[in-house]
Amino acid sequence: MSKLHSHYFACIFIPYRRVICGPNTIDVPVIPIWKLLIKEVLNPFYVFQLFSVCLWFAEDYMEYAAAIIIMSLLSISLTVYDLRQQSVKLQRLVESHNNIMVTVCRNKEGIQELESHHLVPGDMMVLKEGKALLPCDAILISGQCIVNESMLTGESIPVTKTQLPYADNLKPWRMHCAEDYKKHVLFCGTEVIQTKGDDRGVVKAVVLQTGFNTAKGDLVRSILYPKPMNFKLYRDALRFLMCLIALATIGMIYTVCVFALNGEEAGEVVKKALDVVTIAVPPALPAALTTGIIYTQRRLKKKGIFCISPQRINMCGQLNLICFDKTGTLTEDGLDLWGLLPSEGNCFQDVHRFPTDHNLPWGQVFRAMVTCHSLIVLEGKIQGDPLDVKMFEATNWVIDDSSEHQNEGQRSTHTTFVRPGPKANSASVEGIAILHQFPFSSALQRMSVIAQETGGEKQVFTKGAPETVATLCRAETVPPNFESKLLFYTAQGFRVIGVACKSLQVEKQSTDLTREEVESDLTFLGLLIMENRLKRETKPVLEELSAAHIRSVMVTGDNIQTAVTVARNAGMISPTNRVILVEANKIPGSFSASVTWKPLEENKTEDYGILDSVSQTGRRISLAVESGQFHFAMSGKSYQIVAQHFSNLLPKLLLNSTVFARMSPSQKASLVEDFQKLDYFVGMCGDGANDCGALKVAHAGISLSEQEASVASPFTSRTPSIACVPELIREGRAALVTSFCMFKYMALYSTIQYLGVLLLYWQLNSFGNYQFLFQDLAITTVIGMTMSFTEAYPKLVPYRPPSQLISPPLLLSVILNILFSLGMQIFGFIMVQKQSWYSKTDIYSACLSVNSHMKNTSSVSSLGLPGVTDGGPTEMDNGYKSYENTTVWLLSTINCLIIALVFSKGKPFRQPIYTNYVFVLVLVGQLGVCLFLVFADIDDLYSKMDLVCTPTTWRISIVMMLAVTLAVSFLVEEAIIENRTLWLLLKTTFQYRSKSHYKRLQRMLEQDSAWPPLNKTFFSDSVAVSVEEDMGCHSNPTFDSSEDAL
């Protein structure tokens, strides 16, 4: 490591490293339009459309073919435009990285300016004053930097980077966790806000990674190649398409048989058979599945929720577990200094309560408060961690942002200088210089600084988690009632910070000292008590989620007692529920570990009136045992040990765990993945800091950030409030139901048209071109565009919509409606032939009054289909016109409107259909046009539409058949398909049980009378030591719905 600090890169190695590592560029070329066009046109969807269009042109079905071409070209153009814009934006995002001028120091060439793409690993960069973007990942070896990492984390709080500590090469650098090195690394793409040089005023960094190997390169890679999402809806959609293709195959065989047996030419038979495929498998089906998602994305944007991964919207409809960060998410960002509990000797003194207009007393704790932070002054405003800001502002001191160099022995260092402000109490010092920082580490749960008063000695000040700070202090300085005092305040929901100090009696320079040397033999100074209030919307939102049987879990880096108290105050844990603390520890000198279950209330003492007595605690536990409701709480350390040594216990613990405290960023991400292994659909809601890993791996990561979008999360809320969570779930459920409705409608529409055509094929007839055009364009296309306008229902119900397209209710709905449509069309087809006015050869027999002027005005069949007479098929000039054609087409056309109405589900996941004004107007308008076609007797219109005149009584009969179909379809859909009680009864009768892992595990634990093993200790070698008698069988039905969603 000492070599790294004294390192100058030999120029002879530069060409070799450039060959191995490549240039320091993140090249994202803008994809040419012709490539995008070819890729889009070769999509199987458009290939199928091309096949359909060619077939339609061969059949002279020009109008719809032209309409499909126009819509396809428009769709392709919009898609190519969007892809092109994304490519341009991504290229602009990285192009600045490739053209940054940097200063490097090479041993023979000296200091020189060059473009960033010439950098190779091992180069030494010299960072100048002022703001600058970093073109590579580099490790800081001298000086200090303040950087903005919002591009990577979504959080705009400045981060302090310190130089890599000096160390003997024979003594390895100690890292407490993989996150430690980040405190010394400047990541590519982040912005340097301030630099503080060493004794020579120079800030140096050695290049570690270049190009796509950098943090920014990894980010760009994740955008270019996102993680594929495996959602059952799309898998089931492909299966259903296969069913439609099988249905089309049957139709093709039927068509070939009918037309071949009637002596039709082979070419016409092939065209007719292929035509069945384009009818049974609608080309618009894939587009219909995404329509609801597009509209939902627009609605979310209007509500301040931005989505960069639209395919995850449907997943939001299946969420049944949400992990919440605490600080900044459930509670307010700002912390108020509630009080100070100083310690002298080894005894706590009286608590000092400090309103905002009260000054703190001068002393060692005060010195710690003005120095132990990583705040900076940027544009005249103090910026940094909210806790540090509140702590420092309470002192009424100010930060001198002018450059200062503090002499240390033979060299000087760039320091931060703090001094009393105008409102501060009189102090005996002019100011204090902060010589060196050991930034806060989430793994170590503390930070330290080396400071020196003007003319005084150097001192170390440390602050952090009280339990951690106490372990670093000399035992004789820690009060014996430390734990009970800490518990007293954390149990009330306060944020408690431990503070310690020591005098530094070493000859080394501050920057040469290791963290272990500095953070040892400290003197405990006391506790800072910060008040962190719940956000106003936290409790109502969690109550809404609980009522909807959506489980809420807290994942925080705070103290476990504070976390449990906040969970109780927020409503995650009911007052009557008990909390069981799960503590896991590694056994010293052994590879085994132990895990203990004990009521959290046992830690409370009788010394403080605010806490329950032991007898009260015992009674509450007994009541909780009887009710069978409990919650596990554990720390990040315990979670890690259980995962490593008790992997078989982890799923059982996760089933009832509600509070996870002192969790590191990697542990948060690991926890989300463990919940997913139990078949939970997991959402993660955090403020963007330390939550990025969990936000990425969750099914739906929701970042609360002021920025419009965050690359760390699929969803970003502009408003920092968890109120966006139920809103996102509501919209996700609505989008999922809309996708199902659209799929059912498109499948039924194609099947209805398919059945009608096959019926007419029996007479070697078919629908006319304008008949097809009216159904395909005027009816289905318009319905498909407006059905998805229905918004989400405002209330979350305690069950989820189905996640599978191939499910019994949905399949039954489709099959029954197909049977209703088939029955109605066959009935009409047969009954029209039994009418007294019916004639196979004379299409004017029903309306003799129009026979004279309709004669010889019928259109010529584009296919030249023969008619059917009593003696066999003979040629006629009526084209597609027939009584069967008119009857079947009118029935099938209006039937499409019926199923659109029946399938447009409202409550409980979407608003009632009448709130979708556009859709209602469309249906009314289409129904009006269809009824006009039924009852109108306009010769030119009927001729164009290939319809024939029928008696008014038969037209009324058609309407009655449709009314009966509507009534039957609607009653079946409401009384059977949407009857949740009926399906639950059927599940119970046939003893159907959910196959979800967490459901099976829950049923197993309900039969285990020894769970949870309260007041017991288990060892990783499976030896159990009983502490008290075994407790009874317990389960947690709080968030468990009686059955899986149908």
Domains along the sequence of the chain with CATH: 1-140+168-225 (2.70.150.10), 278-304+732-984 (1.20.1110.10), 307-331+535-718 (3.40.50.1000), 336-479+494-531 (3.40.1110.10)
Q: What is the pLDDT of residue 54?
A: 86
Euclidean distance between the first and final Cα of the chain, in Å? 61
* SS3 call for 635: strand
Residue type, 1000: R
- Give the neighbor-by-neighbor strand order of the sheet with 144-148: 132-133, 191-196, 144-148, 159-162
Q: Which residues pair with 405 in a beta bridge?
A: 414
Q: What is the pLDDT of residue 923?
A: 95
**Phi/psi zone of residue 138: left (φ > 0), alpha (ψ -120 to 50 degrees), beta?**
beta
| Cis peptide preceding 1012, ω within 30 of 0 | yes
Q: What percent of the chain has pLDDT over 70?
A: 81
Q: With 50 as the cut, is the pLDDT of residue 874 above it?
A: no
Residue 1013 pLDDT grade (very low, low, confident, very high; cuts 50, 70, 90): confident
* SS3 call for 75: helix
Kindly state the average pLDDT of the residues 1002-1031: 67
* SS3 call for 463: strand
Q: What are phi and psi for residue 594, nearest 5 degrees?
A: -130, 155
User: Tokens 């069967």 belong to which residue?
Assistant: 884
Of the residues 199, 236, 325, 674, only one is catalytic, namely: 325
Kindly state the average pLDDT of the residues 706-724: 72
Q: CA-CA distance, 82 to 172, in Å (whole number)?
A: 51
- 152-156, 687-691, 767-771: least confident range: 152-156
Bridge-based pairing of strands 700-704 and 715-717 is: parallel
Residue 935 pLDDT grade (very low, low, confident, very high; cuts 50, 70, 90): very high
- 57-71, 161-175, 211-225, 962-976: least confident range: 161-175
DSSP assignment string, 473-489: B-GGGS-TTHHHHHHHH
pLDDT in tens, 744-773: 898 899 999 999 999 999 988 888 888 988
Residue type, 492: Q
Strand extents, DSSP E, 532-621: 551-555, 578-586, 593-599
Residue type, 270: V
Q: What is the pLDDT of residue 752?
A: 94
Q: With 80 as the cut, is the pLDDT of residue 292 above it?
A: no
pLDDT in tens, 358-404: 666 788 888 898 999 888 887 778 877 777 888 888 888 888 865 55
Q: CA-CA distance, 472 to 485, in Å (whole number)?
A: 18
Nearest to 545 by CA among 834, 321, 222: 321
Q: With 60 as the cut, is the pLDDT of residue 850 above it?
A: no
More confident residue, 596 or 70: 596
Number of residues assigned to the chain: 1046
Q: What is the pLDDT of residue 613?
A: 45
Nearest to 563 by CA among 646, 670, 635: 635
Q: What percent of the chain has pLDDT over 90?
A: 23
What mean pLDDT value characterizes the chain? 80
Q: What is the pLDDT of residue 957?
A: 95
Q: With 70 as the cut, is the pLDDT of residue 824 above it?
A: yes
325 assigned to active site: yes
Q: What is the pLDDT of residue 898?
A: 95
DSSP 17: H
pTM: 0.75
Kindly state the average pLDDT of the residues 997-1023: 80
Are 675 and 654 in contact by the 8 Å Cβ rule? The answer is: yes
Q: What is the pLDDT of residue 1024?
A: 40
Are 745 and 903 in contact by the 8 Å Cβ rule? The answer is: yes
SS (H, E, C) 155-179: CCCCEEEECCCCCCCCCCCCCCCCC
Q: What is the pLDDT of residue 275?
A: 87
Are 31 and 79 in contact by the 8 Å Cβ rule? The answer is: no
Q: With 60 as the cut, is the pLDDT of residue 408 above it?
A: no
DSSP assignment string, 795-831: S--SSPPPS-SS-HHHHHHHHHHHHHHHHHHHHHHHH
Are 401 and 428 in contact by the 8 Å Cβ rule? The answer is: no
Q: What are phi and psi for residue 685, nearest 5 degrees?
A: -120, 120
CA dihedral (432, 438, 442, 444) positive or negative: negative
Q: With 60 as the cut, is the pLDDT of residue 784 above it?
A: yes
Kindly state the average pLDDT of the residues 215-225: 73
Nearest to 404 by CA among 204, 196, 159, 203: 196
Residue type, 78: L
Q: What is the pLDDT of residue 896?
A: 95
Q: With 90 as the cut, is the pLDDT of residue 960 above it?
A: yes
Are 605 and 484 in contact by the 8 Å Cβ rule? The answer is: yes
